[in-house]
Amino acid sequence: MVRHESGKPVAIGIHDLALATSQHSLSLTDLADHYGIDPAKFSVGIGQDVMSVLAGDEDIVTMAADATARILERNGTDGIRTLLFATESGIDQSKSAGVYVHKLVGLPATVRVVELKQACYSATAALQFAVGLIARDPSQKVLVVASDVARYDLGSSGESTQGAAAAAMLVQADPAILEVENAAGVFTDDVMDFWRPNYRSTALVDGKGSIKAYLNAIGGAWEDYRAQGGAAFEDFAAICYHQPFTKMATKAHRHLAVLAGGNPTPAEVAADLDETMRYNRLIGNSYTASVYVALASLLEHHDGDLTGARIGLASYGSGSVAEFFGGVVQPGYRERLRGAEHAAMIERRTPLDHTAYEVLHKTTLPEDGREYRTARETTAPFRFAGMQAHQRLYETA
């Protein structure tokens, strides 16, 4: 905790949190039927039920703008000096996707914007960078926006873990939802467990290698967290994990529990994580947004009062970087939650049959700069209208 010029401690953390997802969805039961396999391979084997699927006029910018606009509708723009956009689904090698968001939501010119990338981890880096900016000047506020679409080849082992979502966070002093604690453990290792070269629109993944890399990195981050003076495992009321699929979170939770000297049963692990996984089971992998989707799920599904409880956040990005840190839930946090809003967002998606999903998956943008216009599909407030002269076009829906 930093101190203001007056000498009084200043809490810094998440003041508001809004999620956005796609227009469409695909049931993994339908995906299983298409491949002639038991649906339990998905619902039990990887812990996923439904994946979000973008419409042709949606992308990381439209989802990010949707979530960010709802943050601004409630909080206004006063004090916002920075927008940090985290994604691994970049749309331009030079221009930050956040600059498009900046215009769409009407932020003032006096806001710096930058895009951060390190697989699924970069939203946590953005959050920590935001805390540092605010520690320097507690009057400033920072928008941290994570937005991604997980795409894998049709018929690949990763196809069932696809998804799409954005998480927008307003980070400031005296936060209403979660104070970010100072102690943080980090871990980096150069491995090729998951990657997407510039010449591919879908990712490559070493499934078994990625699980091993995830557990190794999360364990390393946890050990560094403890070495930095972090809290004991039993001091956490709950832990939110990055969820490429929810079953991965259960593996990670048991791994940390064992490192901390415990030996939980599968039933105990499932009970510990159930509330953190409900949104992810219905949205799929959202890469950088995933751990913050889990945080929203926990806070919005927990029946009791978590005021004063310590929540752990375990963030992982393939390649690989991991971080473990804690936050304390703030008094009155329930008044800031968006549970009904997020439930309606998930419910309003249009279910696709497999044929329609496959058509969307195979649709690619032209690479020669010719004019391309998208059909109006989304009912969200912002849409990707197409391309012209190598430029992306956006408009209000």
Query: What string of pLDDT tens digits covers the 397 residues of the chain?
Result: 455 555 567 999 999 999 999 999 999 999 999 999 999 999 999 999 999 999 999 999 999 999 999 999 999 999 999 999 999 999 999 999 999 999 999 999 999 999 999 999 999 999 999 999 999 999 999 999 999 999 999 999 999 999 999 999 999 999 999 999 999 999 999 999 888 899 988 888 887 888 999 999 999 999 999 999 999 999 999 999 999 999 999 999 999 999 999 999 999 999 999 999 999 999 999 999 999 999 999 999 999 999 999 999 999 999 999 999 999 999 999 999 999 999 999 999 999 999 999 999 999 999 888 999 999 999 999 999 999 999 999 999 7
Q: Residue written as tokens 């979170």? A: 249
Residue among 15, 24, 58, 88 flagged as catalytic = 88
> Running DSSP on this structure, what letter comes out for residue 352?
P
The answer to whether 103 is a known ligand-binding residue is no
The pTM score is 0.96
Residue among 15, 24, 115, 120 flagged as catalytic = 120
Q: What is the pLDDT of residue 209?
A: 83
d(CA 326, CA 63): 27
Q: What is the pLDDT of residue 397?
A: 77
Q: Are strands 238-241 and 9-10 parallel, antiparallel or unpaired?
A: unpaired
Q: What is the pLDDT of residue 8?
A: 66
- Could you give the 3-state DSSP secondary structure of residue 19? strand
Taken in order of first residue, the domains within the chain and their CATH numbers are 2-396 (3.40.47.10)
Q: What is the pLDDT of residue 3?
A: 52
Nearest to 166, CA basis, from 323, 276, 288: 288
Is the distance from CB of 144 to CB of 121 less than 8 angstroms? no
What are the respective helix, strand and coil percentages of the chain, to the nearest 5? 35, 30, 35
Task: Specify whether 120 is catalytic.
Answer: yes
What are the C-alpha distances in Å from 225 to residues 185, 210, 276, 387?
4, 22, 21, 46
- Please report the beta strands in the chain, taking only residues with DSSP state E, as ranges in sequence order: 2-3, 9-10, 12-21, 24-27, 50-53, 80-86, 112-116, 141-150, 163-173, 178-188, 194-195, 204-205, 238-241, 310-317, 321-329, 350-351, 372-373, 382-388, 391-396
Residue among 15, 24, 102, 242 flagged as catalytic = 242
How many CB atoms neighbour CB 123 within 10 A? 31
Ramachandran angles phi, psi of 383, nearest 5°: -140, 150
Dihedral in degrees, nearest 10, Cα atoms 189, 190, 194, 198:
140
The answer to whether 38 is a known ligand-binding residue is yes
Task: Specify whether 88 is catalytic.
Answer: yes
Q: What is the pLDDT of residue 17?
A: 98
Q: What's the burial of 360, exposed, middle or buried (CB within 10 Å: 0-12/13-18/19+)?
A: middle
Is the distance from CB of 131 to CB of 171 less than 8 angstroms? yes
Buried/exposed 296-309: b ≥16 CB within 10 Å, e otherwise: bbbbbbbeeebeeb
Task: Specify whether 242 is catalytic.
Answer: yes
Q: What is the pLDDT of residue 2?
A: 53
The answer to whether 251 is a known ligand-binding residue is yes
